[in-house]
Structure 1
Amino acid sequence: MAETTTDTRTATAARADDLHRAYGRGGATVQALRGVSVAFTPGTFTAVMGPSGSGKTTLLHCLAGMDRPTRGTVRWGDTEVSRLPERKLAELRRTRVGFVFQAFNLMPAMTVAQNVELPGRLAGARPDRGQVLDALARVGLAGRERHRPGQLSGGQQQRVAIARALVSRPGVLFADEPTGALDRATGHEILTLLRAGVDRDGRTCVMVTHDPVAAGYADRVLLLADGLLVDELVRPTAAQVAERLGRLGG
C-alpha cells in the first residue's frame, strides 16, 4: 500500500506523523508501531482494525494521549501533544478528547449522574449539572440520572460511559472495542449512537474494533499489521472488511 499522505492545508481533528512505539529493551524490545502516519478529518468516523498484536490499540492510546510515542508526533488540531508535560496533557485531554473503553469502568456505588461528573470532579472542576443532563439526554438516558449502574442493562451502562466521555463536549472521541462486551443488537444501538454523533454533531470518532459489522458503520477502515498501516478502505461493506482482514490473518 502507498503511504497515507495528508495535505497540511486541510484541517485535521487529530493526526499522527511517523509514529513509532517500542516496549522493552535490548533483545526483548517489541516494536508495536513502526512509522504510522495518518490524519483524521473533522466530522468523520474511522475504524482501526488488524490481527492481534498489530498495534491498533497502541495507535489509539497514542492518538488519545494515553501513551507516549517513542518517536514521531501526535497533534490535536494545530496542537502537538506528544511532547507536552503530563499535567498540561491531562488538562487538554479532559477538554479536547473523550475515551470509551470496552469495559464500562463505572463506579457501582455512584449514580449515573455522579459517574458522568466524576472526571471533572477528579480534576478539581465543579460539574455543570446542565451539561451532565444534556450528555445523558444525547445518549438516550434522560431521566436515568439517579439510577445506579447495577440497575441498567449493559447497553445502557455503555451509554453512561459515552455520556461521561462527551460531557466536556470534546471534538474527538476515541473508542476501544466499545461493543466488545455487548450482544449484537445492543452493539448496533451503540454504533448507531456513535454514528449519530458524527453526522449530527460533527464529532470525529476513531474506533478500534475486531468486528467487520461494526467497521461497516465507519466512513473508512484502517488496517494495521505488524505495527504498519497496510491498507485503507473507504465506505466498505462488512463483507469487504472481513475479506481483507482475513487476508491479514485477523
Structure 2
Amino acid sequence: MAEMATGTGTGVGAAARAEGLHREYGRGAAAVRALRGVSVALAPGTFTAVMGPSGSGKTTLLHCLAGMDRPTRGSVWWGGTEVSRLSERRLAELRRSRVGFVFQAFNLMPAMTVAQNVELPGRLAGRRPDRHRVLEALDRVGLAGRERHRPGQLSGGQQQRVAIARALVSRPEVLFADEPTGALDRATGHEILALLRSGVDRGGQTCVMVTHDPVAAGYADRVLLLADGLVVDELHRPTAAEVGERLSRLGG
C-alpha cells in the first residue's frame, strides 16, 4: 500500500497535502497558534487517523485540509490543485465535487427521506439527482431498500450510514471524517469504522479521520499524533494498545 509522507510533505501524487501549515486565531498577545508549520501528505487509497490531546490542532488540521478553514500561512493541495488560494465560490464548487464530509452529528433532515438526504448536496449545488448513484451509495453502506425511510425510523448507526452515503454519492477523492463514531455505542461504532476501512481496501477511497478513540485509530493505516500544533509522532498500522500508550505520553 502507498505510504503517506510527513515532515517536508512534498507529497507528489498525494490525494491531499498540506505544506507549512500555520493557523492562528486572534492577534497579538492573545493569538492562539492552532497549527505551527504542519506538512503532511495523504497517499491515495490510505486511511489516516489524526489524534492528540484537546487543543493539539487535530480538528483545525482536518478543517484546513478539507477546505473548511483557511490557513494563516502555508498551502493545501487536492491532487495538483492548490485550494488554499481559491476564491470562496471556486472552493465551494471543488468541495462539492472532490471531497466528502462525515461528522459526529449526522446532520440529516428529519422531514426528508433517506434518498432525499443523500441527494441534498447535489440539489443545493444545482445538479439534477442521479437516482442510480444514490441507490448505489446506499447499497454500498448496507442500506439498500431503505431509501424511502425517514431518519427517525433508523437507528443511530443507520443514520450515520446515510451520512456516509451522502458523502460518497459524488464519488469524492478524499473522505474527511470528524469523530464519526463519537455519538454511537461501541458496537455500532465498530460497524461504521469497518465500513470506512472497507471503502479504503475495496473501493480505493482515501480517508482521513479525527478521533480521540485508540480503538478507532487502530483501523487506520497510519496515525498522526499532534501536540501544540505540531505533528510529533506517527504510527504505522498500530494496535489500539499502542495508540493508547503513545497518546498517554502526550496527555491525551
The TM-score with structure 1 as length reference comes to: 0.97
Mapped to 2, the partners of 1:132 and 1:26 lie a distance apart of 49
The answer to whether structure 1 residue 182 and structure 2 residue 180 are counterparts is no
Match of 1:142 in 2: 144
Match of 1:234 in 2: 236
**Corresponding residue SS for 2:160:** helix
Deviations 1:74-94 (A, max 9, x none): 000010000000111111111
Match of 2:3 in 1: none
Match of 2:8 in 1: 5
Letter in 1 for 2:134: V
Shift of 1:26: 1.8
Pick aligned residue for 1:225 from 227, 231, 240: 227
CA contact (8 A) 2:102 2:164 kept: yes
Shift of 1:11: 1.1
C-alpha RMSD of the superposition: 0.9
Shift of 1:192: 0.3
Deviations 1:106-163 (A, max 9, x none): 0001100000011111111111111011000000000000000000000000000000
The TM-score with structure 2 as length reference comes to: 0.96
Shift of 1:5: 3.4
**Corresponding residue SS for 2:189:** helix
CA contact (8 A) 2:9 2:19 kept: no
Letter in 2 for 1:103: A
Mapped to 2, the partners of 1:206 and 1:144 lie a distance apart of 27
Alignment of 1:1-250 (within 5 A): 4-8=7-11, 10-250=12-252
Letter in 2 for 1:107: M
**Corresponding residue SS for 2:23:** strand
**Corresponding residue SS for 1:127:** coil
Tell me how many residue pairs correspond in the alignment. 247
Letter in 1 for 2:7: T
**Corresponding residue SS for 1:232:** strand
Q: Mind listing any 5+ residue stretches in structure 2 that lack a counterpart?
A: 1-5
Mapped to 2, the partners of 1:165 and 1:178 lie a distance apart of 12
Mapped to 2, the partners of 1:233 and 1:5 lie a distance apart of 17
Shift of 1:24: 1.1
Poorly superposed stretches of 4+, deviation over 2 Å: 5-8
CA contact (8 A) 2:8 2:19 kept: no
Mapped to 2, the partners of 1:70 and 1:130 lie a distance apart of 41
Letter in 2 for 1:235: R
Mapped to 2, the partners of 1:153 and 1:86 lie a distance apart of 36
Mapped to 2, the partners of 1:248 and 1:66 lie a distance apart of 27
Deviations 1:24-63 (A, max 9, x none): 1222210000000000000000000000000000000000
**Corresponding residue SS for 1:201:** coil
